[in-house]
Amino acid sequence: MENKNGISRREFFIKASMTVGGIAASSFVPKFGGFASAQATPVLSSQLPVRHLGSLKVSALGLGCMSLAGTYNPPMEMQQAIKLLRDTHELGVTFFDTAQLYGMGLSEEMVGKALAPIRDKVVIATKFGQAPAPGGGGIEINSRPERIKSSVNESLKRLQSDYIDLFYQHRVDPNVPIEDVAGAVQDLIKEGKVRHFGLSEAGAATIRRAHAVQTVSAVQNEYSIWTRDPEHEVIPVCEELCIGFVPWSPLGTGFLTGKYTPTTQFDEKYDVRVTFKFARFTPEALKANWYIIELLQRIALRYEATPGQIALAWHLARKPFIVPIPGTTKLDHLKENIGAVTIKLSASDMEEIETAIAQNGVQGLRIPDEVLQTSDIGAILGTSSEGTHGKTPLKQ
């Protein structure tokens, strides 16, 4: 049976499975602190595995580009960002994720300037619907068709491209039927300005409604070892409809790297974990959740890896259509992240992680409540869109 993505479920899983299976960990050396540091030989472009988001082929690991424009630190200098992005491609990554909102367009500009010379060799995803308001009036959630169609031109200009590979709705708009959103993107696909449609922080009911109008290639929701919101309904509906799943914050806003302890001093001016008062990054929550780092350290020792690499390898082992997009501004962290594709966790490793999380839980909301409430019904832990039409109104 063929899916709206143009492939059967069997073909979807065959394509999605062209990934990390069977590749052994390589060339890591121990470091202080009880776990290892990635010093692997860089994975070349021809060697990096691929995965499929619907019919869209991407590297098994992408690069999240939000932090380039300043999220935890000041924005990178333009030339530094360009170099990092080009180094990322040289190391085999072909999938780059940005948004109109990131740095109020700065992230898109960085991506555009860096990747313009190699545009045909990369996949660029960006997002609409939660972005700077026209005229500099702050941030708006607006997915009205006319705004989608005007904002795509703004993104194309910043990206220095005449097309966008993957165009996500950044957050569902409670005032606009999702069918109107999907229809507007469908028009842009017909015009050649967009190639694939995606949703972010959407629940199953919204995904189904959108997919019925225009094929959804990917859904991007927050997901990691300590954030399990999509497991109840979002990942299952992606599997059913042959839609790729792209976890944002796959390293738990940095926590799963093991770098942040209860005594860590965060940048109070730039770091969103402080400025937005992330509940999981209080000293008390960091202490309560530290067992997760100790768990990852134990598993990392078996593979001569780092906790962060194990956290990324966990994603790759969950489903063959999952493509994590860790962000970084540092080349050594980038190389470490890419090294995760060489690690194949065992069934007992995966079970050990599941058991620990089930027994101990996680202290603190994943993001501040006022931000969380912009997510769809069914995209938030403890909510379900079953029997509802999701957060967006029905089309009249």
Residues assigned a catalytic role? 102
Specify whether the backbone of 359 is left (phi greater than 0), alpha (psi in -120 to 50) or beta. alpha
Bridge partners of 248, per DSSP, are 222
Burial (Cβ within 10 Å: 0-12, 13-18, ≥19) of residue 117? exposed
For 206, the token pair is 């919204």
Q: Helices 347-360 & 290-303, crossing angle to 10 degrees? A: 170
DSSP string, 302-331: HHT--HHHHHHHHHHHH-TTB----B-S-H
Bridge partners of 2, per DSSP, are 8
For 335, the token pair is 């190389």
As a whole number of angstroms, the distance between CA 311 and CA 316 comes to 9
DSSP class of residue 19 equals S
Bridge partners of 169, per DSSP, are 128, 199
